Amino acid sequence: MVRGDDIIYKCPDCGTYFKQMNIFSGNNLGAEYYSDGKCIAPMNPDLPIFTKCKRCGAILRIKDLSDCTENVDSFVRKGILTEKDVRDGIPYCEHLDIEDLYKALQLFPNSERDIRVKIWWKYNDAARTQLQNG
C-alpha cells in the first residue's frame, strides 16, 4: 500500500475538521474473503463511504463533501492549521455503527444498496468475531 497525504474534510453543519486516509495504490495480498462479499485486505483498507461528525453528530456521505475538501498542504500553506494540528488534533473519519447506518438509509435513499451491504457486514462481523474467539 502506498499512502498519499490525508484528505481533510470540514463538516458542512458545524465546521469541524476530520481527515481520511488517501491511498495511491493498494493490493489484496493476504486478504480474507467472505461469502457475503466482504474482503479484509491489510494492504487495501476499507475506507468509510459515510461518517458521523464527532462534534454535531451529522451523518455525512464523504463524496458529497467535495466542496469542503482540501489536502493537508493547502491548509498548512494558508495558515489555517499547523502540521501538528493535522497530525495530532484532527481525528480520522470512522465507519458508522449499525444504528447510524439505519439513519443513513433515511438520509441517503439513493445509496440504499451500499448502506444495506454495510449493515449486513456489520451483523456478520459480530458472527465472525464470535467464531474467531470460539
Average pLDDT over residues 123-130: 90
68 CB-near residues (< 8 Å, 6+ apart): 9, 10, 11, 12
Q: What percent of the chain has pLDDT over 70?
A: 93
- pLDDT confidence tier of residue 76, bands split at 50, 70 and 90: confident
Q: Is the pLDDT of residue 3 over 80?
A: yes
Tens digits of residue pLDDT in 15-72: 888 889 888 888 999 999 999 999 999 999 999 999 999 999 999 999 898 766 666 6
Average pLDDT over residues 1-23: 87
Phi, psi (5° rounding) for residue 102? -65, -35
Tens digits of residue pLDDT in 83-109: 777 777 789 999 999 999 999 999 999
Predicted pLDDT of residue 52: 97
Distance set, CA 16 to CA 27, 45, 90 (Å): 32, 24, 9
Q: Is the pLDDT of residue 134 over 70?
A: no
Q: Supply the pTM of this predicted model.
A: 0.83
